[in-house]
Amino acid sequence: MARPQPLLFIFFLIANSFNADAAGVKFELIHRHHLHPGGPLPPRKLVHRDASRKVRSRFNASGELPLHSAADYGVGQYLVKLKMGSPGQHLVLIPDTGSDLTWTKCRYKCRGDDCGRKKSGHRSRVFRADRSSSFKTVPCSSTSCQTDLADLFSLTICPSPLHPCAYNYSYADGTFALGVFAHETITFGLTNGRKARLGNVLVGCSESSTGRSLLGADGILGLGYSPHSTAVHAAAAFGGKFSYCLVDHLSPRSVPGHLIFGSYKDANVSVAARMRHTELVLGAIGTFYAVRVRGISVGGEMLDIPAEVWDLGRGGGVFLDSGTTLTVLMRPAYEPVMTALREAVRGFERVYEGEVGPLEYCFNSTGFDERVVPRLVVHFVDGARFEPHVKSYVIDDVPEVKCLGFADGGAGPDASIVGNIMQQNYLWEFDIGKRRLGFGPSSCA
């Protein structure tokens, strides 16, 4: 859920202390398009979001959270479960590498039925702060609020010294959240069957939030590269790395993926081929995880794409975003990619022609065979190659209709985005300590 210029403010979670046995954490990722009353929605309706060093793990095993598609809710995201508070309250969050903040729907002060479950078209959990003995607000007069959180859109309003530090945050897609900062405890399972408690965590208690991309979710799990990111703090306890494997975006909830802190090998996630690696560029595009791309080929032919499209130093570049559904290419890259792929499927009747939407080219897929589509390959500067599955760029829309799964990012200059559909059925390892991105095809089993 990329947000180039956030205007309002979300809440986030910082792991300041860790109290757990010597084992890995276990998280579960979920995708949310299948809980929609009418069944899974088609993708065109889903898209309406230090130098290298050796880092030692503090634990003897990796942490793992099951991750699932959110297709049941009719949106193109994934979901992960964890507990917050004392005693722990269940939450379902969107794991988002495009966000550096973590927040949840919350009631800070509750009276009567005001803290009950929201009345809406889907089940929604609201964190009851008044029922947690470990919930401690951050005073608005504190240095943390006035200085440390200033870049995270904390508000300057301070009616009294002990009044909670407030925030006001929004995403580019219109999603927003308003609330207060607090310190809290989160709890999750370990691979040895025990529980880990992460205390003194800075969280955002959002008393007001909205956004279609939040359907089925209670908030956002920030996995971006930032001092305030859950991923950075959790990864620090497990060797400086985290990874995830996203199942097919239309998979039912019974098909789990994985969010892992530490080595994916400890989590028993199989990779169908040797893992490939490329440089992970940190800090070049805000808190996003950027990579150095040399070009894109289709059918073995390098496309004529200007070098500046991939140049991080000239406003271009590429980053991975688990919270964005489609892959967004700047127009100088989008047009040659679409031209090459349209040529491969021109024998099929085009549909939706003339309709306005992010998916420009869709066709009647009766009799379609993936073998007619030339393989698309992303070439990195250091020689690594990412070869996504055909189903990740010629994607299902409705029965008997497929679409070319790219969105036009405009003339630029700006960065292109590798969305979560393009990332599906691959294991992605973000080695923050070594500044290296690993990836390999996987069923996520």
pLDDT per residue as tens digits for the range 311-322? 999 999 999 999
Which residue intervals of 142-248 are DSSP H helices?
Answer: 143, 230-236
Domain annotation covers residue 14:
no
- Percent of the chain predicted with pLDDT > 70: 83
Question: Total structural domains in the chain?
Answer: 2
Domain annotation covers residue 74:
yes
Nearest to 142 by CA among 165, 166, 169: 165
For range 271-294, the mean pLDDT: 96
pLDDT surpasses 80 at 296: yes
More confident residue, 200 or 166: 166
Based on the residue annotation, tell me whether 321 is a catalytic residue of this protein: yes
> What CATH number does residue 147 fall under?
2.40.70.10
What is the per-residue pLDDT for 121? 42
For range 151-175, the mean pLDDT: 86
- Range with top average pLDDT, 22-36, 101-115, 331-345: 331-345
Domain ranges, residue 153: 25-267
Alpha carbon distance 294, 276 (integer Å): 16
pLDDT per residue as tens digits for the range 392-403? 999 998 889 999
Cβ neighbours of 121 (radius 10 Å): 11
More confident residue, 307 or 148: 307
pLDDT surpasses 70 at 221: yes
Based on the residue annotation, tell me whether 96 is a catalytic residue of this protein: yes
Which residue in 100, 148, 248, 321 is the catalytic one? 321
Same-domain check for residues 280 and 253: no
What is the per-residue pLDDT for 324? 93
Same-domain check for residues 143 and 105: yes
pLDDT per residue as tens digits for the range 123-152? 568 999 999 999 999 999 999 999 888 877
For residue 87, whether the previous peptide bond is cis, meaning omega lies within 30 degrees of 0, is: yes
More confident residue, 293 or 66: 293
Domain annotation covers residue 205:
yes
Alpha carbon distance 344, 156 (integer Å): 56
Domain annotation covers residue 13:
no
Same-domain check for residues 196 and 252: yes
Domain annotation covers residue 380:
yes
Query: End of a domain among 204, 239, 267?
Result: 267
What is the per-residue pLDDT for 114? 47
Domain annotation covers residue 3:
no
Q: What is the pTM of this model?
A: 0.84
What is the per-residue pLDDT for 432? 96
